[in-house]
Amino acid sequence: MNEMDSYRQSSDEVIEKLGSNAKTGLSSDEAAKRLEKYGPNEIQKGEHTSLLQKFIAQFKDFMIIVLLVAAIVSWLVSGDLADAVVILIVVFLNAIMGVFQESKAEEAIDALQSMASPEAHVRRNGKTEVMKSTEIVPGDIVLLEAGDVVPADMRLIEENSLQVEEAALTGESVPTEKDATPLDEEAQIADRTNMVYSSTNVTYGRGLGIVTSTAMDTEVGHIASMLETTEAKKTPLQEDQEDLGKALTYMIIGIAILTFFVGTIFQNIPWDQMLLVAVSLAVAAIPEGLPAITTIILSIGTQNMANRNALVRSLPAVETLGSTQVIGSDKTGTLTLNQMTIEKVYYDGAIHDDDEEIDLTHPLVKSVTFANDTDTDNEGNLVGDPTEVAMVRYALDKGFYLEEELNKTPRIGEVPFDSDRKLMSTIHQLEDGRYLVTVKGAPDQLIDRTTQIFEKGDVRELTDADKTHILDSNKELAQQALRVLGGAYKIIEEVPSELNTDTIEKDLIFTGLVAMIDPEREEARGSIEKARRAGIRTIMITGDHAITAQAIAERLTILDEADENNQNHVITGAELSEMSDEELAHNIENYSVYARVSPEHKVRIIRAWQSKNKVISMTGDGVNDAPSLKQANIGVGMGITGTEVSKGASDMVLADDNFATIVKAVEEGRKVFTNIQKAVQYLLSANLGEVLTLFIATLLGWQILEPIHILWINLVTDVFPAIALGMEEAEKDSMDYEPRSPESSFLSNGVLPSIIYQGILEGAVTLFVYWFGRYQYAPTLGPGVDAINLAETMAFATLGTIQLFHAFNVKHVFDSLFSTKPFNNKYLNGASLLSAALLYGVILIPGINNFFDVTLPTTEGWLIIIGASVSIIVFVEIIKWIFRKTGFADKYKKKAIKL
């Protein structure tokens, strides 16, 4: 039935509409019919992409398509399969690598998602049965008690001090007190106190409810359905690759057509021969190794992030974090410990910090730990209501032997907590035959029931001045977003025959107050400050109350603690509902804290930031976070506390649920992008050198390089050094600069001008070597030497070798190669040696050199090749020095500004 009817109607009306019975539940036959009608009570999972689908998807990249076309044209025109085979090998290796990485990431998330289906106590046929939650149907009567996971959305019939932790759904960090009374007005999910929802946890008390919705009809299911209509954003890396592919396409087509016509019209070269030259130019212009190299560099980043507790689901997400401009973080469990902790204690007329020593004989200690239902699990961990656990943990940390004290003073009775009086009392047998009554609860309720006060070792009458001071202290603590509870006690001679608030909770002795909060993670504050220095703004998006969210935001420096107008930077879900999308987008940058928000609000917030052209990462662990995780440029889920739905919507999962890990991942992402830029700079400058070499040689009527030469250079001198550049360490000041803007690309930050002048240098040096070899050097070797073939071989060796030396130039865009240790990257050193061996092998090894149609140079020829290749370092160092001295380099490096 419609939940809008459920929480606004009496439980009897809901039971009648669902055709059930509160005492007997459904019959087995009726339950079976409903199970067939409604299906199993489980969230539907999306199907995995098959290996074949993953493999085919790798060929959607435009550069790959152009390469395949070039391979086909080359084969059809020349009839030679060699060039086509080399291209196909590169393309298929890239596809296999992409499939492997996607499958590996998918398996990691599957492991995180595997969760056992909880069981539930259900009334069937007049008996209470334990069954799997997947078998529950609408109309089932379910019994709830502390420790249970709510198996479906339910309207409460009965409740006894029932409290439910709903953080996964509402973002509320403190358990919600439940009441079966119907609500008169429309209410948000977090305020529907007579409803309990699937996947939430019972922390205290007992309850009885009737299932109103199961599976995809639950609130959890509703959010899962929203994911299907939420648009997944392309990452900056994907957009960069698309843009680069388009730019290269235009360049390739223009150069190929121009070269074809120049050769056929001005040089009178046969059209079929010029078509092969044009194809060679196309191959030279395309960095065919770039997709594979990008995948490998991202894979390296993935492994590095996994070592830092960040599991990446899709490879482009690695780089996206590096371009993040805004981090939208959930509060509970991510910025905070998700563990209520006592921070202030009021006793003896003053407020004390939690780290101050307290006399363990002070009755405040017993009043808050005796009137307490905290228990321990099999591993010795404290379990129970978070506020009660906080009190026990505080006492234990101070050295209070609670178990020993309870053994000496056993509990013999209690008046359980209820939401009306907001108190809990326990009665304990003293060794002298009398009885100790301990009480804890809401300070205002407690004060009304106290007549005396314990202060500095004595008990005296409670005066009006005492009451005023206590309540003022309570208000002061509450204004700090602390949850405050009071303690009291008394000693009685005999236990009343009837235990209730009238017989037990009167004439009490006030002992003090304890104030607690879910504190911020110690490392989160430093990480937020580090993010700020890097030009990244952190915002808090939470389902918690505004005053609590503001207090935590101030402590974390998301808000300036000295700013008296911080409330103006906090906005609630109710206020968001009053705003249009246009108004929200216009004002979005004014707010740093978004409190008491719903799943729909979170998606609107993300979209508003994106309308400002911001790259935003969203973190979250609850089901309510899932739509916004998918909407964000990169969604970051929680591996420990995260729900299955939120993990499935995320691009990355934090194994430790720690905000600090996000900032570490940002740093890794920046390193990944910088290293990809280095690879792009290396590849495109090398390919530009090849294009200029071929184009100018065509204009001059020279036959300088054959297609197989270009392909071999691109395969052995491009791929390995470019991958090794992906292993470069993070630059020491990488987190001192603002994030790259969405308009930036692989060619930003001075990379494009560097590619241009470095490509020109490579082409010029290669052309010079060809000219020198053909017209100056070869004639000195005698008439039997094929000058053209020797010059072609020298140009081939020079173009490959110069790229290997140039790989060291691109370690820094503007800084000198010698500003740091030039050979500190052992992978680049090894890759350069391997590439040189493969390059020279086809020249030196008999048989293979015939296949490549090359001539073995003399020793003098090798010295010319090596000397010309080394010159690239000298030329680039000179130009970098000029750029630094003229201030040209400074405009590309922008220090982050304070946010």
What is the phi-psi region of residue 741: left when phi exceeds 0, alpha when psi lies from -120 to 50, beta otherwise?
beta
576, 583 Cβ separation under 8 angstroms: no
389 DSSP 8-state letter: H
Q: Which position among 330, 625, 651, 657 bears the catalytic label?
A: 330
Residues 778, 779, 785, 788, Cα dihedral to 10°: 60
Q: Cβ distance 131 to 326 under 8 Å?
A: no
Q: Which amino acid is at 160?
A: N
Residue 822 DSSP label: T
In which residue are the tokens 């056992």 written? 116
**What DSSP assignment string belongs to 805-848?**
HHHHHTTSSSS-GGGS-TT--HHHHHHHHHHHHHHHHHHHSTTH
Which tokens belong to 359?
Answer: 């006399």
Is position 397 annotated as part of the catalytic site?
A: no
Return the amino acid letter for 820: T
| Radius of gyration for the chain, computed over Cα atoms and rounded to the nearest angstrom | 36
Tokens of 255: 């150069």
| Nearest CA-CA partner of 650 in 227, 360, 281, 298 | 227
Token duo for residue 865: 């090749």
Copy the structure tokens of residue 644.
């299955």
CA separation (Å) from 426 to 451, 517, 661, 816?
19, 25, 44, 75
Strand partners of residue 432: none
DSSP states of 683-731: HHHHHHHHHHHHHHHHHHT-----HHHHHHHIIIIIHHHHHHHTTPPPP
Please name every residue paired with 141 in a beta bridge, in sequence order, or none if there are none.
123, 210
Cβ neighbours of 148 (radius 10 Å): 21
Q: Which tokens hold the place of 427?
A: 């009665």
Q: How far apart are CA 664 and CA 676, in angstroms?
A: 18
Separation of alpha carbons 843 and 721, rounded Å: 20
- Report residue 504 as tokens: 């037990």
DSSP 304-363: HHHHTTEEESSTHHHHHHHT--EEEE-IIIIIB-SS-EEEEEEETTEEEETTS---TTSH
Nearest C-alpha neighbor of 665 from the set 742, 584, 621, 730: 730
What are the catalytic residues?
Answer: 330
